[in-house]
Amino acid sequence: MMKRDEALKVLAERYPEGIVVPVFQSAFDWMGIRPHPLNYVCTGAMGQASSHALGLALARPDKMVAILDGDGSLLMNLGGLVTAANLAPKNLVHFVSFNKIYEVNGRYPIPAADQIDFSGIAKAAGYPRTFTFSNLAAFADAIDEILDGSMLTFVTLEVKEGEMYPRDFTKLHSADAREAFRNAIRQN
């Protein structure tokens, strides 16, 4: 099984300038790995990453948009998969870090952790392309295809904890982060 931060570093190498909607532990990791004004870190509630990212992808079809979701967070809004699949923006890639726990909220296990298949759910919701990776080399080999912008894509990353990055909730939800994103999206 791969470490989440190592998988995110692979993504950062191939996706240096795109819009990213990261949530919870993925957000903390991503802010440490790729601090950038196009990181939309102000979703505020579990389950809302897909809705916010879908809006950004529809508003900016000229820009790739990546969601860095958590398994527990995605469980809070599975309906977002159906909505995204119905609209099918080609510039949207939904990554879910699947570690079977609500990591930031107390490390409690998610329901059906040993049975759930997020890529299968996304496929059933209508996503035209899905992937599941537990091996870093296989993920790295597929990253260019994943980010090619040819179709709505869903990626399950079976991960374990890696390096711990600071959990700075103040920065994550700050007015400065929102303003930096607004300015960056206007300039791009």
Whether the predicted pLDDT of 175 surpasses 90: no
Q: Residue 105 has what pLDDT?
A: 66
Residue 20: closest CA among 57, 72, 70: 57
Q: Residue 184 has what pLDDT?
A: 87
Domains of the chain from N-terminus onward = 2-187 (3.40.50.970)
Whether the predicted pLDDT of 145 surpasses 80: yes
Dihedrals phi, psi of 70, to nearest 5 degrees: -110, 155
| pTM attached to this predicted model | 0.92
Mean pLDDT of the chain: 90
What are 130's two structure tokens? 């899905």
